[in-house]
Amino acid sequence: MQIIVAKKGKVIYDKVFGTQDIHKRQKLNWDHLYDVASVTKVVASVPLIMKEFEAGKITFEQTLGELDSDLKTTNKNGLKVKEVLAHQAGLAPWIGFYKETVNVKNARLYLDFYSRRQDEEHTIKVTDNIFIINSIKDSIYEDIAKSPIGKKVYEYSDLGFYIFQKRIENDYKKSYQELLQEKFYQPLGMYHTMYNPKDKFDLEVIVPTAYDKTYRNQLIHGYVHDQGAAMMGGIAGHAGVFSNAIDLAKLMQMYLNKGFYGGQQFIKSEIIDQFTAKQYPNSNRGAGFDKSLIKSIKGASNDAFGHYGFTGTMVWADPKYDLVYIFLSNRVNISEDNNLLSSKKVRENILQLIYDSFLP
């Protein structure tokens, strides 16, 4: 794992532990990259949505039908952006898009969708030896449009972030990869943060994630773990970013600084306040951010915010104490069913120790 703690803008704890995988072949280093999984939402989608707010292109009260005309005749038409960002819109948590394209019992790919070589019809790279049909993105958006809507109570969902990605990429005529590098990662000095890191970095500095037994039938190394993001070519609004603890600390510090970092105002301070605030009385979510630990961590302020990732990652910031905490691991390398990190509350216990170290 990599752990960083920063207070008042200064790193006070920065350590790496162990090796990259269960085989203990390679010792972990500070510059090694992790698949941050759903932390992607707050390090990719949320900052780009904030820029759309700044430009007046998106508001909390806008509906998904206004954001995407393809949704106007669906049950998603009237869902508000604020509801979606706070996971309060009734969207299904997840859709197993890949299950329509593979026999999950033996991970045999259906040839209607895949090619082992890249060609005109299969330009989207899933892994080195798997390319998916170009029309798959249309199929994904159609499945989202047709998906059922539940009650408007808190239920975590990836689906809205596919919709935000589609809108933002259409607005700018650029991919998330290009937009994020241009607007945030490069100017923030986040040189180890990107989608599809294998395009830039050697595999030796990318931490292997998990062995995929139901879809790709191989060790996922340098490619995104999330199947839906993989079908999008590794670039998705809900998953796909790789990073290290130092880079993520820079972004979280920028949020703490009300959008200011390194002499540059990246996002207006009032927009940061809007997104990191609790959105609904009966929920522990900001707009994209998770605030659930405020109740369970003794000393955490009501202004604190963060996010978890399925692969074993976490980011956290508390404006009251100018505190940043980053935890990165690849708990799924042992098995996707390995839940010890959550059941033993490893990330949370470390965070509690951090608060205990400076609070009376």
Digit-coded pLDDT (tens) for 92-137: 999 999 999 999 999 999 999 999 999 999 999 999 999 999 999 9
Contact of 235 with 195, CB cutoff 8 Å? yes
| Residue in 79, 86, 52 with CA at minimum distance from that of residue 65 | 79
Residues 312-323 have a mean pLDDT of: 98
Q: Where are the alpha helices (DSSP H) in 233-283?
A: 245-256, 269-276
* Confidence band for 25, pLDDT divided at 50, 70 and 90: confident
Record the tokens describing residue 234, joined without a space: 């590794």
Record the tokens describing residue 47, joined without a space: 């900052």
How would you label 143-168 residue by residue, b for 16+ Cβ within 10 Å and e otherwise?
bbbebeeeeeeeeebbbbbbbbbbbb
- Choose between 127 and 336: higher pLDDT: 127
Residues 202-213 have a mean pLDDT of: 96
Phi, psi of 200 (to 5 degrees): -125, -35
Report pLDDT for 269. Answer: 98
Q: Is the confidence at residue 265, as pLDDT, over 90?
A: yes
Report pLDDT for 318. Answer: 98
Domain around 258 = 2-358
Q: Is the confidence at residue 241, as pLDDT, over 90?
A: yes
Cα gap 125→321, rounded to integer Å: 43
Cβ-count burial of 204 within 10 angstroms (0-12 exposed, 13-18 middle, 19+ buried)? exposed
Report pLDDT for 109. Answer: 97
Q: Is the confidence at residue 8, as pLDDT, over 90?
A: yes
CATH of the domain at 194: 3.40.710.10
The sign of the dihedral angle between the CA atoms of 251, 253, 256, 261 is negative
Phi, psi of 125 (to 5 degrees): -85, 125
Q: pLDDT tens digits, residue range 34-64?
A: 999 999 999 999 999 999 999 999 999 999 9
Q: pLDDT tens digits, residue range 135-168?
A: 999 999 999 999 999 999 999 999 999 999 999 9
Cα gap 34→126, rounded to integer Å: 18
Residue listed under structure tokens 């608060």: 355
Residues 75-102 have a mean pLDDT of: 97
Nearest-5° Cα angle at 169, 164 to 175: 120
Q: Is the confidence at residue 76, as pLDDT, over 90?
A: yes
What type of residue sits at position 101? Answer: T
Q: What is the pTM of this model?
A: 0.97
Q: For residue 130, what is the enclosing H or E element?
A: strand 130-132
Q: Is the confidence at residue 354, as pLDDT, over 90?
A: yes
Residue listed under structure tokens 């408007």: 152
What type of residue sits at position 254? Answer: M
Q: Provide the β-strand partners of residue 313.
A: 309
In the chain, what's the furthest Cα-to-Cα distance? 64
Q: pLDDT tens digits, residue range 340-353?
A: 999 999 999 999 99
Total structural domains within the chain: 1
Cα gap 80→130, rounded to integer Å: 37
Q: Is the confidence at residue 24, as pLDDT, over 90?
A: no
Average per-residue pLDDT for the chain: 97
Report pLDDT for 165. Answer: 98
